[in-house]
Amino acid sequence: MRIVYVKQLAQMRLLKQAMALKHEFPDIELILYCKKVLINREIYNEIFEEIQQNITPEELEFIIKENETSNSKPDLYHVYCDVNNHYPYIVAKNTNIPLIYDANDLESLYCGIDKLNNIQRLREQIAMENASGICSKFPKSIYNYFINYGYDITAPITEYLDYCIPDFCIDRNLIPDAGTHLVYTGVTVSKDKPKSTHGNNQHYDNIKKIVGSGNIHFHLYASPWLGTPHEYHELSKQLNNFHVHEGLPQKELHQEIGKYHYGVSIHNFTGTTKLPDFEITSIGNKLSNYLEAGLPVIVSENLQWNSQIVTDLEVGFTVALSDLSKLHEIIDAQDIQKLRENVRRVRKEKWNAYSHAHRLKRFYDDILRNHIKDKDK
């Protein structure tokens, strides 16, 4: 099987899916078309037989059309949505080869379909409607929102989250300190940016509340390709228990953060223009990052999908945004050793990416079988 992955900016979700597939099915040939590989380029090079980078939309259209008659054409495209859905649209418009649309970063869920301009909406709708299958980080129920806006979504949908890569999983001794050490990894936006569009990733006020709630240390590792806004460095000089660290590549990140007590996924959407559906279903790659590092997870309860998963798996606990100043009391009530045991079990079993690769492969196989049947009609 020859699979071409297409994403404007290649990130962790794509890499983890490809790593798991290649581990379990080494004969599968994986190709990547992208504008840029953002992180962990050395791992990408190990997984993909071919990487075509710096591809413009015009070049992508030419390549896709060429592939239609090539002797080495792909069996399947796995295309990831992005802010403007330009790459998925190009593939959907120019191929008869089965296409998996990976709904992992939907702009329409951020701001609302009615807020998209005509080009953005057309691209998204064509990509969804022409997909042979949809691989979704969101619960299936979210697609009723698109159907209500007239999207004709008939493709089968599989829920596929960002699972744990066993090769990334570690166990470290906890930091020898009387306090509790929390860590946040991911997008961190300056408080000077508009709250309406960036508020859910502005952590400045949350950090002050958490650090002020008791003997809690907060460690920040911002996304390495975005960096840490200056005011967080300034805040670390004012608060002894707040620590800013350099963002790290994936393999180094796990080794570094595994010494802390809890991973944190706390996002406040108050005052933003994000859709309520996005807040409810929001879940990033950091959940699997924390589990891979052996960390139980603290999730703000407004992130309902994320909270449900953490609660059902018993790998952490939720906290109301209004209770951040009392977080130390909530932490004291937890059995961290039991939570750490659950993390080790869950990442080995229910959230093992290598096991889920078989489910993804079956989804690919079903799509290809249905495509052959449709051609034979």
pLDDT tens, 166-176?
A: 999 999 888 77
Q: What is the mean pLDDT of residues 337-345?
A: 97
Do 2-162+353-376 and 166-348 show the same overall fold? yes
Cα 273 versus chain centre, distance? 21
> Taking 80 as the threshold, does the pLDDT of residue 39 lie above it?
no
pLDDT at position 15, please?
A: 94
Across 60-123, the runs of DSSP E, i.e. the strands, are 76-80, 99-103
Domain ranges of the chain: 2-162+353-376, 166-348
Average pLDDT, stretch 115-143?
Answer: 93
In words, the CATH class of domain 166-348 is alpha beta
pLDDT band at 177; cut points 50, 70, 90: confident
pLDDT of 214 strictly over 90: no
> Mean pLDDT, to the nearest integer, of 26-44?
92
How large is the average pLDDT for residues 96-101?
96
119-123's contacts with Cβ under 8 Å and 24+ in sequence apart are: 119/84, 120/84, 120/85, 122/89, 123/84, 123/85, 123/86, 123/88, 123/89
The DSSP H or E segment spanning 297 is strand 297-300
Mean per-residue pLDDT, 358-375: 88
In the chain, what percentage of residues exceed pLDDT 70?
Answer: 99
How large is the average pLDDT for residues 330-341?
A: 96
Average pLDDT for the chain: 92
How high is the pLDDT of residue 374? 64
Would you place residue 206 in the very low, low, confident or very high pLDDT band (cuts 50, 70, 90)? very high
Let me know if 153 is exposed, middle or buried by CB neighbors in 10 A (0-12, 13-18, 19+).
middle
pLDDT tens digits along 236-263? 999 999 999 998 887 789 999 999 999 9
- Give the CATH fold of the 2-162+353-376 domain: Rossmann fold (3.40.50)
Question: Is the separation of the CB atoms in 221 and 245 below 8 Å?
Answer: yes
> Could you give the CA distance from residue 205 to residue 202 in angstroms, rounded to a whole number?
8
Placement of tokens 């806004």 in the chain: 229
**Is the Cα dihedral 95, 99, 105, 110 positive or negative?**
positive
With 70 as the cut, is the pLDDT of residue 375 above it?
Answer: no
Confidence label for 377 from pLDDT (cuts 50, 70 and 90): very low
Collect all residues with Cβ–Cβ distance below 8 Å to 168 and sequence separation of at least 6: 250, 251, 254, 292
Q: Residue 283 burial (CB < 10 Å; 0-12/13-18/19+)?
A: buried
Best-predicted range by mean pLDDT among 200-209, 246-255, 267-276? 200-209
**29 backbone dihedrals φ, ψ, rounded to 5°:** -95, 125
